[in-house]
Structure 1
Amino acid sequence: MNRQQVDRSLFDEVMVPNYAPGNMIPVRGEGSRVWDQEGREFVDLAGGIAVTVLGHVHPGLVGALVDQANKLWHLSNVLTNEPALKLAKTLCDLTFAERVFFANSGGEANEAAFKLARRYAWEKFGPEKNEIISFRNSFHGRTLFTVSVGGQPKYLEGFEPAPRGIGHANFNDLASVEALISERTCAIVVEPIQGEGGIVPATPEFLQGLRDLCDKHDALLVFDEVQSGVGRTGHLYAYEMYGVVPDILSTAKSLGGGFPIGAMLTTAEVAASLGVGTHGSTYGGNPLGCAVAQKVLDTVSQPEILKGVKARSDRLRAGMMDIGQRYGVFSEVRGFGLLLGAVLTESWQGRAKELLNAGIEEGVMVLIAGPNVIRLAPSLIIPESDVDEALLRFDRAVKKLCSQAAG
């Protein structure tokens, strides 16, 4: 089958229709640039949905992958392996964690986190302490358990009955949590920055309030940092920025820089509840993923990399606000570091996908976070010249949309 036959129409012939990908098919990337089948070039501000943390084809990540690929690919968890042990030690050294569980994705890391929270409460307090509180508009994955904990009913529609014992409060509204929490609560699950919900940061007072409520009610505090973690906010993990330490943290996306890997981090005391045979993952902790993630962490944790996130963030935020003001499209740009959300004004409500498509036509890749927010999650080391070029292209895209509307 030659390349001319591998086009968007083939997706509809051979793939389950749960996605609606654009017509453009990227075939090559380098740094923060991507090229499609026709050789057209795009500046990437999407980052594979906050995944390609060091850009495309980063030499260090390629080297780590090739080196490990020539040694050992897979063993299963009947045996451990050196890359997994080294990566777990690094995660423990760099965070609050004392124990690590490896999985393949953010959804799997969250599944493990939620199961652990219930198991810990079951062992320590009894089976009646099993209720989980999460938040409306949250997103935690696509397994039946994680989509039930997530606060977006549309993702659960048609898959009921959902697991029981899950309640949803309002994000940044501590009173709504206080109204739900009880001695039956085993965990509160929260994204420090809601991602799919529109790039909405938690307030420091809210997260500290959740910590205090968990301590008061013998519940665990679980941070979903799948999207906000691994340097994206300018801190290795967002909890550091807030000064609030969770009991369990999930991480994925940027952790592998594009190679599938996820992890659940926790304390030794809590981890003890997942004894031998209680949970597992065939591919979790495989040598290839762990070798790549080790290189990601070694790179991203460098102070100059984290410091550089803020400079790029300021540049990107200012540029998007300038576009927003000149064309009346954005009311604010919120978020931290290189996880930003440009919020559409009243007159542009519901048109985020149009802006995304217009950007593609002008050679810049962005994301959406719901119908009213343009999401930006580029490489943490995107050259400032690429930021400027992306903004120029997005400016042209918005200008074209405005002129079409006027015409």
Structure 2
Amino acid sequence: MQFKEIIGQEKIKQQLIQTVKENRLSHAQLFLSPTGSGALALAIAYAQYINCVDKLENESCGICSSCRKYERYIHPDLHFSYPFFPKGKEDVAQNYIEEWRNMLLHDPYFDMDIWRSKLDAGNKQPNLPIAECHDIIKKLSYKAFEGGTKVLIMWLPEYLDKAGNALLKLIEEPPENTLFILVSQNQEQILTTIISRTQIVKIPKLSNVEVSNYLLAHGDLNEEQAVEYSFLADGNLIEAKALANDKQTDGSGTFTNWLRLGFGNKVPDLITFTDEAAKWGRENQKNFLRYGINYLRACCLIISGADELVKLPPLTLETAKKLSEKVLSLPMAEAIIAELEKAHYHIERNANPKILFLDVSLQLVKIIKFKTLPAGIQYIYN
């Protein structure tokens, strides 16, 4: 993967390239970024640039033997570690390398939900177990096969439990020409003993303009839709693409109509909506709920008088303002967001969608029509 394939992040790209040019490579680096910002893709492009045998000014050549192997993720000195769902005590990430490579070849922008869908996860929790730590130590103890830099890219080190301490000595005193790149989304969940041994590289979320430009270039969207989805995704390219690919709902139209049905206490129509939503499929259902959460957060900004921070397209913004002025209050919006977040959590865990959407629909009626808020949320009359 080359830097030019990565959306945005121009400042970080130049920063990484400069460390190679000036021979200032830190042997253990922690890439911290929000989900969907391209940190994993950056780590791979960085590793490819380091090992390219015919570097260009600000890019790997893409055609040397090393680059060709990197493009297919089969370079013998490129190693990956990632959370998986162990089937036994000796199971390691390498056993799922084909699924991992296929995932990267298909789209290097993905999250744990997408990765989970590619594996036989069942009800198991993702993990980086002690057997994986021992396998990393073993792999990196060998000399570089092609005489360059051995690179270990660990995706989501926050899934390391205390067994991760087995890697401390290796991270602190790695073999010659060995580079660790840890790609994380949550610094607070990483072992502090690991953080203290790494150089932190903070990667910002993508701008709305970068996301909307990508959607316009790669999707069948008009400019208004691209702007709307980029705003609701809030810099998360994964979520923006999911919203753009959701062909069964029309974004704000479907969601705001759902709210109106709740306000009108139109239970028969809500049941009809529930039947339709149950047919969307799990990913589309999750996209719809995430859309609603972000849409209502925009409404919260409008209600709070921070309209200038809302960058929805004109028609969607107009609808959001009407809802905020005539239907919603801040506590009501917060209560509905809480219900949608719970629904998203349960959909991820294979809840029955028909029962779930019916329950949330009835909660909408209680909150919007009858102003019955959950305990701890006080209703404020406009």
Task: Give the TM-score taking structure 1 as reference length.
Answer: 0.29
Using CA pairs under 8 Å that are at least 6 residues apart, name the structure with larger relative contact order, 1 or 2.
Answer: 1
Q: Which structure carries more helix by proportion?
A: 2
Q: Which structure carries more strand by proportion?
A: 1
Task: Give the TM-score taking structure 2 as reference length.
Answer: 0.30
Q: In terms of Rg, which structure is larger?
A: 2
